[in-house]
Chains A and B, each alone.
Chain A
Amino acid sequence: MLVWTIYLSFAGALVLALLPKDKPALARWLSLAVAATGLALAVQGFIAGMGQGRTVLVDLPWVPSMGIRFLLAADGISRVLVLLTGLAAVAGVLFSWNIELRTNEFFAFYLALIGGVYGVFLSFDLFLLFVFYEIAIVPKYFLIAIWGSTRREYAAMKLAIYSFAGSAMVLIGLLAAYTTAGSHSTGLVELAHANLPVSFQMWCFPLVFTGFAILAGMWPLHTWAPTGHVAAPTAASMLLAGVVMKLGAYGCLRVGIALFPRGLDPWGFSFIGIGSWRDVFALLAVIGIVYGALVALAQTDFKFVIGYSSVSHMGFVLLGLMTLNQIGMTGAVMQMFSHGIIAGLLFAIVGRIVYDRTHTRQLAELETMHLSKRLPFAAWAFVIAGMASMGMPGFSGFIAELQVLVGAWMVNPWWTLVTGVGVVVGVAYTWRALQKAFFSDALPNAHMLEQEHEHNFAAITWPEVTGVVMLAGVSLFIGLYPKILLDAIEPAVKALLAGGVQ
């Protein structure tokens, strides 16, 4: 049933693209129905897959002469991320309810993107995975370029260029792995068992890993992320941070680490304490965490704060992957899920609930608006989201980041200690944004006062409430009952680690 998430999304995209242009309400409800069905399928698949390892969903020959198969399968990691995609998709539709410009096209691109994401998470053939990966990139460009805000065309193009540079690296790695393994098959399992030479893995691993990590927002290749997030329409930035960045991280895990595990071996020499690709990427991840947090602390644009926080939080995912141990990698997958939910929520609040009413994202201007009184729902939603984001225990982020930190400590305590600084700064920037945007005591100037009296903000609508409750509820639920995800992730990570790594 899980595969229907893919087909359904693409079919939905096609139908929406053909829909008459003057029926925005129909487009909304239709896409909500498609997204919700996708979520239901994802939940059903998650529940059905409990306690099971990798299950093959579809396996058809695609290009027999080259050994390429249309192979969709799911293991614990896939199921968790498919579930995340389902949630993010529904939330995204809910927070796009007020899109009036070219509504049906918007949702068509949106569902195409979702379909690609589902596809990536369920592909167990490298070629197929790459195809879905690229499919997910194109709609992103249009979503941002057409429906975005600040410098949208620049941001969209930057994002597209970065993405394609990354996927070019991945494609080179794909071709190399395929031909080096004897041009028999592009199946992930087959390639992993192909005994690729160590020297080959040594150069192919960093190539592929970097290619995917660009999309995961790895420092210093992260610069597309903040501008892209800021320019994107709310739903797109929710998806960008929520699932598209996860595509990169997932690729790093499923392709980079699983196919080229020996690429992480020590080089045999070390330079200022760095003796393997693993050290290199871990260092970049740690820098990303701290750097993202520090930069977020200095932003004046509300959405940029969240944008840089994404860079920081995705650093945890990469760091977790580089631990190569059970707990750290489990934490990385947890963090993918958790950040997907929380970042989605944050972007929804900032981009939809606040910006669409105040028409400014400058913290200095928001300070004078007394949003805690005028938009209490937004304020308290942000309090919850902020708590989740800064890793308050009881929310999903805490468990995830803690696991990553524990895993990192087992490898190199310095990683954890430096990352700890990032966590503290994370608290600071979240709280700073919270204070400034919602709970500031700054006095409004005369002009603002006038405005305040003249018109009240539009009331909070039901899609917004539903979306916020859903996302915050999931984060809280996972934070209080992480076992439900851990039971799915841990065996999958174990299998992955046993499949070659270490």
Chain B
Amino acid sequence: MNYADLFRVTLPETALEVAALVVLIVDLGILRKAALKLRVAVAALLGVAGCGAALWTLQVSYGTGYSFDGALLLAQGGYIAAAQSGILILTALTLLLLIDSTFTRHVGEYVAVVLMAASGGLLVASAQDLLVIFIGLELLSLGLYILTAFAKQSGKSAEAAIKYYLFGGMSASFLLFGFSYLYGMSGSTSLPKVILGTYLSASNGGTPLFLIALVMIAAGLGFKVAAVPFHLWAPDTYEGAPAPAAAFIASVSKLASFALLISISTVTLHFLDSFHTTGFVTFTVIPAGVPRPSIVFGFRSIWPLILTVLSVASMVLGNLAALAQTNVRRLLAYSAIAHAGYILLGVAFYSWSNRSANAILYYVLTYGLTTIGAFGVVAVIERATGSDRLDSFLGLHKRNPLLAAVLGVLFLSLSGIPPLVGFWAKFNLFAAVLGVSAGPIPFALVALAVAMSAVSLYYYLQVLKRAYVMPAIDETPGNQIKAHPVTMAVLVAIATAVVVLGCFPALLQGWIESFYPIL
């Protein structure tokens, strides 16, 4: 045990926590009497500064991570660094959207909770031990519950928070239940050992307990990424939570969860394909003579099969349900479910060559970026029209042409239209899936995903149609929608990024690869 090591590895988390405390002190102590606007601005900027500090302290290179008793608890560097940087950047963006918000007077608390939740996200991304994973997830989730409930005047917010909390609590217990089985089978909580242990037990005739454990874990993680059938919280939460919180949930929490899935998949693969490890994870290779597990429906093990089922269900249900929505936030929620479905496909067909990790990270990062922008636009419109129904977008092109243009870029990117970044993310992800295996099953799944993203265009166009095509209900000239300049700047920056990154996909690709080059 070496606390110096631990401190070194957890420097970013520490930075966030410190920033959270500073925000609290400044807001509650110094600015107590100040105007709300000032407080919001100061708190948000301090939060952003905290994120920056965390980013600065982030270990980019491969380190040894933090081990306890010979087992790795926290890893660092590589894709983890990429995911953590992403988490910090997205968090900063959601904080910037706060500047124009009025849903709460407790801005200090809000920013502090965001920062703490983000530190939970960082932990989740780097965790290599079941217990650390659980702790990280809980830290993240608890923050999210609070954030959801933050609009105290709104009944919807409270309702959403309660729902989210109940579902979340249940899913956490599922996850814990599954983890306990794994521990029972392998005698360890360290991810590599757990997987090796369960693997050996499965290959020795197997046990139904293993299946139960996997299903339980899938339920727990499926809840986090809002995969069908564990998605029920998402529409309500997205609808009820204050916009910046919803953006945070939709982007940061998702990124953290998928980073965790990448960890699990990476570790798993190192066994299944008998590859010598490189970089930060070292394992013993499966001894020769140990039989391979049986093949189910062409899948090499049961875990990808479960993920595939979740993925297909999410893609189909998410997209179809989104078609029927009349509320933009609910629409975004269902679209988030659908996007989770695509990404899960990438996780299910995971390649050892980092290709998949890169593609998934690319997708989640850009999706998170786009979603934050989308919620930003929704927030602006909500404030101006008092409604988040689709019809509140009517005539947007006249009421605020720039905002309409941003909306157009973001939504077209979400639906996967080139040359926007969403298209490239999809292409990259699907190409990675097919790169793993070009058999009929992955192929059919990719075909389904592509077909579903064609379906998704319909509901995204429903929004754009209202913004561009249909006339505003109130045609009087004076009904311009105004947005705070900072908000507008952030939104325009996001839209520009979506365009630029889409036109030059190699930029972001190269950035991720700089952490974790493709072998």
Complex: A in contact with B (CB within 8 Å): yes
On A, residues with C-beta under 8 Å from B are 17, 61-66, 105, 127, 130-131, 134-135, 137-138, 141-142, 145-146, 153, 156-157, 160-161, 164-165, 167-168, 171-172, 175-176, 178-180, 183
Known A-B contacts A141-B461, A183-B431; A65 and B438 likewise in contact (beta carbons under 8 Å): no
Q: How far is the CB of B428 from chain A (nearest CB, A)?
A: 8
Q: Is A180 touching B506 in the complex (CB atoms < 8 A)?
A: no
B450 part of interface (Cβ distance < 8 Å): yes
Q: Which residues of A contact B454 (CB under 8 A)?
A: 161, 164-165, 167-168
Selected interface stretch from B11-19, B43-51, B223-231, B416-424: B416-424
Q: How far is the CB of B142 from chain A (nearest CB, A)?
A: 39
Q: How far is the CB of A69 from chain B (nearest CB, A)?
A: 11
Chain A contact residues: helix, strand, loop or mixed: helix
Q: Which residues of B contact A65 (CB under 8 A)?
A: 506, 509-510, 513, 518
Q: Which residues of A contact B418 (CB under 8 A)?
A: 130-131, 134-135
Q: Which residues of B contact A63 (CB under 8 A)?
A: 505-506, 509
B441 part of interface (Cβ distance < 8 Å): no
On B, residues with C-beta under 8 Å from A are 397, 405, 412, 417-419, 423, 427-428, 430-431, 434-435, 438, 443, 446-447, 450-451, 453-454, 457-458, 461, 465, 468-470, 504-506, 509-510, 513, 518
Q: Is B505 touching A180 in the complex (CB atoms < 8 A)?
A: no
| Chain A, residue nearest B358 (CB) | A65
Q: How far is the CB of A383 from chain B (nearest CB, A)?
A: 37
Q: How far is the CB of A134 from chain B (nearest CB, A)?
A: 5
C-alpha spacing A65/B397, complex, angstroms:
39
Q: Is A160 touching B506 in the complex (CB atoms < 8 A)?
A: no
The 20 sampled A-B contact pairs (Cβ below 8 Å) are: A62-B505, A63-B506, A65-B506, A65-B518, A105-B397, A127-B427, A131-B419, A131-B423, A134-B423, A138-B417, A146-B468, A153-B465, A157-B461, A160-B458, A164-B454, A175-B430, A175-B434, A176-B434, A176-B438, A178-B434
Q: How far is the CB of A15 from chain B (nearest CB, A)?
A: 14
Q: Is A145 touching B468 in the complex (CB atoms < 8 A)?
A: yes
| Chain B, residue nearest A200 (CB) | B438
Residue in contact with A171 in the complex, picked from B412, B419, B450, B469, CB distance below 8 Å: B450
Known: A134-B418, A146-B469. 13 other contacts (CB 8 A): A63-B509, A65-B510, A105-B397, A127-B427, A134-B423, A135-B418, A145-B465, A145-B468, A146-B468, A178-B434, A179-B431, A179-B435, A180-B438
C-alpha spacing A178/B470, complex, angstroms:
41
Q: Is A142 touching B469 in the complex (CB atoms < 8 A)?
A: yes
Q: Is A164 touching B468 in the complex (CB atoms < 8 A)?
A: no
Q: How far is the CB of B43 from chain A (nearest CB, A)?
A: 36
Q: Is B458 touching A157 in the complex (CB atoms < 8 A)?
A: yes
Q: Which residues of B contact A165 (CB under 8 A)?
A: 451, 454
Q: Which residues of B contact A164 (CB under 8 A)?
A: 454, 457
Q: Is B457 touching A179 in the complex (CB atoms < 8 A)?
A: no
Chain A CB within 10 Å — which of B450, B468, B505, B506 has the most?
B450
Known A-B contacts A160-B461, A164-B457, A172-B450; A135 and B509 likewise in contact (beta carbons under 8 Å): no
| Chain B, residue nearest A179 (CB) | B434
Q: Which residues of A contact B438 (CB under 8 A)?
A: 176, 179-180
Q: How far is the CB of A190 from chain B (nearest CB, A)?
A: 15
| Chain B, residue nearest A61 (CB) | B506
Q: Is A64 touching B506 in the complex (CB atoms < 8 A)?
A: yes
Q: Which residues of A contact B513 (CB under 8 A)?
A: 65
Q: Which residues of A contact B397 (CB under 8 A)?
A: 105
Chain B CB within 10 Å — which of A65, A146, A167 has the most?
A65
Q: Which residues of A contact B427 (CB under 8 A)?
A: 127, 171, 175
Q: Which residues of A contact B518 (CB under 8 A)?
A: 65
Q: Which residues of B contact A161 (CB under 8 A)?
A: 454, 457-458
Q: Which residues of B contact A168 (CB under 8 A)?
A: 450-451, 453-454
Chain B CB within 10 Å — which of A131, A135, A164 has the most?
A164
C-alpha spacing A141/B462, complex, angstroms:
12
Q: Is B447 touching A172 in the complex (CB atoms < 8 A)?
A: yes
8 cross-chain pairs, A with B, having the tightest CB-CB distances, nearest first:
A179-B434, A131-B418, A168-B454, A164-B454, A145-B469, A168-B450, A134-B418, A63-B506
Q: Which residues of A contact B450 (CB under 8 A)?
A: 168, 171-172, 175
Residue in contact with B446 in the complex, picked from A17, A130, A131, A172, CB distance below 8 Å: A172
Chain A CB within 10 Å — which of B405, B454, B468, B510 has the most?
B454
| Chain B, residue nearest A134 (CB) | B418
Q: How far is the CB of B36 from chain A (nearest CB, A)?
A: 36
C-alpha spacing A350/B230, complex, angstroms:
55
| Chain A, residue nearest B502 (CB) | A131
Q: How far is the CB of B19 from chain A (nearest CB, A)?
A: 36
C-alpha spacing A175/B451, complex, angstroms:
13
Q: Is A178 touching B417 in the complex (CB atoms < 8 A)?
A: no
Q: Which residues of B contact A64 (CB under 8 A)?
A: 506
Chain B CB within 10 Å — which of A62, A138, A157, A171 has the most?
A171
Residue in contact with A175 in the complex, picked from B431, B461, B470, CB distance below 8 Å: B431
Q: Is A178 touching B469 in the complex (CB atoms < 8 A)?
A: no
Residue in contact with B431 in the complex, picked from A66, A145, A146, CB distance below 8 Å: A66
C-alpha spacing A427/B209, complex, angstroms:
75
Q: How far is the CB of B95 from chain A (nearest CB, A)?
A: 31
| Chain B, residue nearest A147 (CB) | B469
Q: How far is the CB of A436 from chain B (nearest CB, A)?
A: 33
Q: How far is the CB of A177 from chain B (nearest CB, A)?
A: 10
| Chain B, residue nearest A102 (CB) | B397
Q: How far is the CB of A37 from chain B (nearest CB, A)?
A: 23
Q: Which residues of B contact A180 (CB under 8 A)?
A: 438
Q: Which residues of A contact B461 (CB under 8 A)?
A: 141, 157, 160
Q: Which residues of B contact A135 (CB under 8 A)?
A: 417-419
C-alpha spacing A164/B506, complex, angstroms:
25
Residue in contact with A134 in the complex, picked from B417, B430, B446, CB distance below 8 Å: B417
C-alpha spacing A145/B397, complex, angstroms:
14
Q: How far is the CB of B472 from chain A (nearest CB, A)?
A: 13
C-alpha spacing A146/B330, complex, angstroms:
26
Known A-B contacts A66-B431, A134-B418, A180-B438; A175 and B446 likewise in contact (beta carbons under 8 Å): yes
C-alpha spacing A145/B466, complex, angstroms:
11
Q: How far is the CB of B453 from chain A (nearest CB, A)?
A: 7
C-alpha spacing A175/B412, complex, angstroms:
21
Q: Which residues of B contact A137 (CB under 8 A)?
A: 417
Q: How far is the CB of B505 from chain A (nearest CB, A)?
A: 5
Q: Which residues of B contact A146 (CB under 8 A)?
A: 468-469
Q: Is A160 touching B457 in the complex (CB atoms < 8 A)?
A: yes
Q: Is A62 touching B447 in the complex (CB atoms < 8 A)?
A: no
Q: How far is the CB of B485 from chain A (nearest CB, A)?
A: 19
Q: Is A183 touching B435 in the complex (CB atoms < 8 A)?
A: yes
Q: Is A178 touching B431 in the complex (CB atoms < 8 A)?
A: yes
Q: Which residues of B contact A183 (CB under 8 A)?
A: 431, 435
Q: Is A142 touching B419 in the complex (CB atoms < 8 A)?
A: no
Q: How far is the CB of B411 from chain A (nearest CB, A)?
A: 11
Q: Which residues of A contact B430 (CB under 8 A)?
A: 175
C-alpha spacing A105/B398, complex, angstroms:
12
Chain B CB within 10 Å — which of A63, A64, A130, A179 has the most?
A179
Q: Which residues of A contact B453 (CB under 8 A)?
A: 168
Q: How far is the CB of B423 from chain A (nearest CB, A)?
A: 7
Q: Which residues of B contact A62 (CB under 8 A)?
A: 504-506
Q: Which residues of A contact B468 (CB under 8 A)?
A: 142, 145-146
Q: Is A153 touching B469 in the complex (CB atoms < 8 A)?
A: yes
C-alpha spacing A176/B405, complex, angstroms:
34
Q: Which residues of A contact B505 (CB under 8 A)?
A: 62-63
Q: Is A138 touching B412 in the complex (CB atoms < 8 A)?
A: yes
Q: Which residues of B contact A130 (CB under 8 A)?
A: 418
C-alpha spacing A469/B114, complex, angstroms:
66
Chain A CB within 10 Å — which of B419, B458, B469 has the most?
B469
C-alpha spacing A157/B455, complex, angstroms:
12
Q: How far is the CB of A100 from chain B (nearest CB, A)?
A: 15
Q: How far is the CB of B103 from chain A (nearest CB, A)?
A: 34
Q: How far is the CB of B98 from chain A (nearest CB, A)?
A: 30
Q: Which residues of B contact A141 (CB under 8 A)?
A: 461
Q: Is A176 touching B451 in the complex (CB atoms < 8 A)?
A: no
C-alpha spacing A20/B504, complex, angstroms:
30
C-alpha spacing A230/B453, complex, angstroms:
28
